[in-house]
Chains A and B, each alone.
Chain A
Amino acid sequence: MNPEILLDELERDALTEIVNIGVSRAAANLRKMVGQQVLLSVPSIDIVSQTRAARLIGEREVSKLVAVRQDFKGAFSGRALLIFPHEKSLELVRAVTRDELNAAELVEMEHEALTETGNIILNSCLATMANMLRQSLTMTIPVVIRGDSATLFEVWRDAPADAPVLFLYIDFTVRDRNISGYIAMLMNIPSLVAVKELIAAFIERVVGSDD
């Protein structure tokens, strides 16, 4: 892979922290929605090829997947995916509607609830990132897609074959609900180069401040 876009250890730490802030915000928002504690793992981050990203998820999740997709534009542009196993999707809907719906209503609400949940999580994540990196981003309306891991990563047609993916392996778990998922960001090389530069600037600010 293009060495320009590969993150060194420090940059990866910095990005992890930035994303950590983002998912914390997302968790806080989700918490408000479900009225339950939402636990988040400390994310692990890497830039991998699309194929490898598909394999990373495909290996772990046997069943079909559901994803909420949002595109972002700004100093760095790309596509964000909130991914979770298909069978957890209704569970998530049940959680965010606080178990107030019957089965028929659940199915009816599913699409809308997923879109809204995805919007909250991805938006908090991306907005925080942009904020920490002192940039602004615009986001498109979220879309729900379904399929196996390969399909999810294939949809980004504009990307060159096997484009790099900023892959965030975040487990988020809603207490007593057994829900978990992943966040992936697909960016093209110019955007990844931009992100890398912004991260370097962030490190400079943080490390330079206390000495």
Chain B
Amino acid sequence: MTEDRNPLDHAIAAAASGSWEWDIGLDRLWIDERFAELYGLDATQTRTPLPTSTFFLRIHRDDKTRMRIAVAGMLGGSENFSKEFRIQVPDGSIRWMHGRGQTILGVKDEPLRFTGLLVDVTDRKRAEERLRIAQKAGGIGAFEYIDGFAAVTVSEEFCRLLGLLPAPALPVPTINRLVTQGYGPLIPEQIGDEDAELAGEFLVTRSDDAQPRWIARRGEIIREGTAGGYRLVGVIYDISAAKAAERELRELNETLEDRVQSEIDERLGAQAALRQSQKMEAVGQLTGGVAHDFNNVLQVIGGNLQLLAGDVAGNLRAQQRLQTATAAVARGSRLASQLLAFGRRQPLAPKVINLGRLIRGVDDMLRRALGEGVEIETIISGGLWNTLVDVVQVENALLNLAINARDAMDGQGNLTIEVGNAFLDDRYAARHAQVDPGQYVVIAVTDTGCGIPAEIIEQVFEPFFTTKPEGQGTGLGLSMVYGFVKQSGGHVKIYSEFGQGTTVRIYLPRTRELEDVEVDTEAGPITGGTETVLVVEDDEQVRGTVIDLISELGYRVLKAKDVQSALAVLETGISIDLIFTDVVMPGQVRSTELARQARERLPNAAVLFTSGYTENSIVHGGRLDEGVELLSKPYTREALAQKIRQVLRKRGLPASSAARQQAAATEPTGSPLRMRVLLVEDELMIRLSTVDILEKLGHAVSEAANATQALELLNKDTFDVIIADVSLPGMRGDELAARAISLQPQLRVIFATGYGLPPTGAQDALRRAVTLQKPYGEHNIVDALKTATSVQPLQ
């Protein structure tokens, strides 16, 4: 750092180093033999004054300018010269030199001579280079401190480790003040007489980012003879990672027993949860099975009671008994449906819904059910996710939970309903049987009631388990909630503190679909007509279905399998009121071309497009082209009927068909159609009573006791509707229905069942099938037929 200008240095160094003297006044240079040797000059030149340019003769090209500047400084009055530079000797090898010099000033402080020593430091440079690389690569910072000085010589890496700006020397306090109090100074100010090594670990706060780091110091105390004088030579390195690992290991060791115990507890818990869930599963299957058979029995009883009503007409006592019996059938049927709910066999009609809205909606109902003594608070988180769930069943579940809460609170207390988003992680899922990790919407119902004792909390979801007095409650409320939530792919959890209250949390899986919006666009009676419709459709099955449907509505139907044949039909000059065509058609000519030609030839004909998707030739910029009518697939029978009428109305009434239109308008509309029904039911009693009801309703019924018979009939005749029991001997009802649809695509499907729909395995084609819940009566059948003919889209 400071220049060493002890005159003795000259003599000491002389043996090993070359020396020079630059006479500034005479502009001459004297060199000694060693200098000449280092510079690769002739030794004879040491005895004569040389031109001063000799000084730069061997200096490496890249260092020459720098050295000229440095020398210019010396000649201009600078006192210190300490430079490292490369020289290139005649044999081509390159050596590093350290030139150290000073100017000798005259009486007026004017520079007279510039003298100095030249030392070969090539080995040192190489060693420094290796050291620097080693230090940087190893993250090791070096320091040297000489007793009695205020500053410490440090390496760049040393500064970096402490977050200091790089400097060759640092004041001792600068370094030591970074060390946290209590860890002693990094650079010791006192050294014991016996000490020989520097070891220690220090918690420091880095200067730049104020981060705490652990720094280790290793080194030696070098005593060099002088009384009490010493040098500290050492290194520092960062051991924060090792320290952290060490602490972690220590903590892990300290808590080992606790962790083993909690792991064991967790496993035991998971096993218990699994056992409980298996038990619930078994009970569920059992109750489901019982309910199914029970429903079949009720169906027979109920059906025959209805038929009997005709026989005992006029007999008041008999009619009264009949009524009592019918009411009992209804009660039995309710019980069976509750059992089915627990057994996860109830027919669900899930839709995408935001539960927040739903729960705000049932607030009123709950208030009425709970009475004035119970305060209800509803908390709905913002940004609530959607879930796919049967709305009616959510309402039922809420009502069940609310009534349990009311009873637990004896009619006085607070009920809190919270709805929010929740994420069940892998850990949670592992601890609970039959829970998939993922995102859920959670409904939590909390009461301030008496709570449930811990020893029975596991049993509360079991059917017929109740703590309520005899006659109050069936013991099926929570079972239904359990079954419904499980069937919906969710999870239910109950927490209770005896004497404090109970919380039931229902987790329903999140869906990313948009909420279903209920719209009654297609309400209103189905209206037909007598105009002529040309159906252009390449798919044979679709074409057949559409033709049946349009014919059934009273229209005259012509058909074409592609645009080419449609154009051929137009050529014949036959009168056509409406062309109903698919947008995407095979062949050279596009459907839009058909529309254009049709407008030329038959200006009175309307064109109605249909398509399974809307990105194509008739939609531009997200909008239908002007004057284009489109009916998106899939569509219902009503939608088709309405759209056809709407398009025909828009077209204006041509003279030729005005009269027919008149006639059609005066015809009574909306009357139920006579349908051809195929009834498949293995229970003879049920089959007979159902046939009676269907015939009474004016439908043509064919009956089959099993799938084989049904398929025979399907191969012979055409049907509008198939009513099939789900659990048939041999082939199941849903399989039969799938086969039936492939034979007769226009067929609508109604499943009669003592269970709900089979929860999985139903094919796409059956997704919109209607369920007719056993036991059913006449009005159930009417409803099912109505729903089936309105909601099932064409294939």
Contacts and interface: CB of A to CB of B under 8 A. Distances in A.
Interface of A: 9-10, 13-14, 16-18, 20-21, 24-25, 27-28, 39-42, 52, 55-56, 59-62, 128, 132, 169, 171, 173, 178, 180, 202-203, 206-207, 210
A25 B73 contact: no
Given A17-B78, A24-B80, A62-B171, 19 more contacts: A14-B69, A17-B70, A20-B80, A21-B77, A24-B78, A24-B103, A27-B79, A28-B79, A28-B109, A40-B80, A60-B167, A62-B174, A128-B77, A132-B76, A180-B150, A206-B69, A207-B65, A207-B68, A210-B68
B105 interface: yes
B11 interface: no
B171 A61 contact: yes
A interface: dominant SS: helix
24 contacts: A10-B69, A13-B66, A17-B69, A17-B76, A24-B79, A24-B103, A25-B109, A28-B109, A39-B3, A40-B2, A40-B80, A41-B2, A55-B165, A59-B164, A59-B174, A62-B173, A128-B77, A169-B167, A171-B2, A173-B2, A178-B150, A202-B69, A203-B69, A210-B53
Contacts of B78: 17, 20-21, 24
Interface string B1-31: 1110000000000000000000000000000
A18 B77 CA distance: 9
B73 A59 contact: no
The bracket for how many chain B residues form the interface is: 20 to 34
Contacts of B150: 178, 180
Contacts of A178: 150
A27 B103 CA distance: 13
A39 B29 CA distance: 27
B72 interface: yes
B76 A21 contact: yes
A40 B79 contact: yes
Contacts of B167: 56, 60, 169
Given A24-B79, A62-B177, A13 B2 contact: no
Nearest to A128: B77
Nearest to B168: A44
A23 B12 CA distance: 28
Interface of B: 1-3, 52-53, 56, 65-66, 68-70, 72-73, 76-80, 82, 103, 105, 109, 150, 164-165, 167, 170-171, 173-174, 177, 207
B261 to A, nearest CB: 51
> Of B2, B72, B150, which is in contact with the most chain A CB atoms at under 10 Å from its CB?
B72
B105 A28 contact: yes
Contacts of A55: 165
A144 B279 CA distance: 90
Contacts of A56: 165, 167
Contacts of B69: 10, 13-14, 17, 202-203, 206-207
Nearest to A56: B165
A176 to B, nearest CB: 12
Contact of B77 (A10, A13, A25, A59): A25
B77 A24 contact: yes
B280 to A, nearest CB: 69
Nearest to B105: A28
A10 B78 CA distance: 18
B170 A60 contact: yes
Nearest to A28: B109
A39 B174 CA distance: 22
Given A17-B73, A207-B65, A207-B68, A171 B1 contact: yes
A209 to B, nearest CB: 8
B65 A203 contact: yes
B698 to A, nearest CB: 94
B592 to A, nearest CB: 64
Contacts of B207: 59
B697 to A, nearest CB: 91
